[in-house]
Copies of this chain bind each other. A is one copy, B any other.
Amino acid sequence: MSIYTIVIHGGAGTILKEDMTPALESSYQKGLKDALNAGYDLLANGKTAVEAVLAATMSLENNILFNAGKGSVFAKDGSQEMDASIMEGKNLYAGSVSAIKNIRNPVELAYTVMTKSPHVMLSGKGAYEFAKMQGIKMEPDEYFFSQFRYDQWKQMQGSNETALDHNVVVKDLPAGQAGKKFGTVGAVALDIHGDIAAATSTGGMTNKQFGRVGDSPIIGAGTYANNKTCAISCTGHGEPFIRAVAAYDVSCLMEYRGLSLEDAMKVVVHEKLIKMDGEGGMIGADAKGNTAMVFNSEGMYRGRISSNGKNEVAIYKNNML
């Protein structure tokens, strides 16, 4: 019988056990498990990889703990601007949205761009108009609000630091919310039909300004899927991931050099990105059922379930799966 599997991440960064309470830790674990199950249940019922990554990513977007959809971070002007993308490995179809507001599930809008428009990438107000025409679910600003993201932003705003400042450490916040984190969410999956897919969604970086776009909505940088090679979703400091064309580089190392999924991911995350000061990580799946979760930061919210028996979630570096 064919293997099917799903892998998710909920962001990478300076995630340390000493900053976490047991209650918060189990909330994160529950959020990861819920998202995994949302995708895995579909796969178990014969649904496609793209449906599974969509469902898992939406589950993470709907969870206020993760920086995507509800609970997104605040930009410099106090707004919550989100980016997302999705790609299907069997036909290289892709959809992406950037700098969008008031969309309940940005990844659903990216999926709709892929399936209902001739475009790959829509941005800003235009993406919002397309969403309205397509009947995509909207929410008022209050829906996206979370007190701890607001406090994070207020503190950074006061200090005049930007979220891309590598030395920023936000203090005096609830346990688990201090430190530098790249809160992006994403999923990759292999379905029973042998197809793979990837999706990524983010609220960006706290206190970001000037309409900054990170790697999450960039096909090839934050997200990529190709049945011949791999499905990849990244999380981290977006600028180096864009300059490294990180997700597609994994695919090329597999296709042109013959590396395995995990070896290719390690070259990109532990060698290439490190040289560019590119902190973060990525999750991957291939069409043979291999999966990997690789990061160069202190931690990465992550998990995977596979029909061959794997079922696990993890947060810190030293409980590598």
Contacts and interface: CB of A to CB of B under 8 A. Distances in A.
Interface of A: 87, 92-94, 98-99, 117-127, 129-130, 162, 164-165, 209-214, 218-221, 224, 238-239, 242-245, 248-249, 252-253, 256-257, 276
Contact of A243 (B120, B122, B212, B253): B120
Contact of A210 (B94, B127, B164, B244): B127
10 contacts: A87-B243, A94-B243, A98-B213, A99-B124, A99-B126, A119-B239, A120-B242, A126-B211, A252-B256, A253-B256
Given A220-B248, A256-B253, A212 B242 contact: no
**Number of identical protomers:** 2
Given A98-B213, A219-B245, A123 B124 contact: yes
B164 A122 contact: no
Ranked 3 nearest A-B pairs via Cβ: A126-B211, A256-B256, A252-B252
A212 B124 contact: no
Given A220-B221, A220-B245, A239-B119, A130 B210 contact: yes
A308 to B, nearest CB: 30
Given A213-B98, A218-B218, A243 B121 contact: no
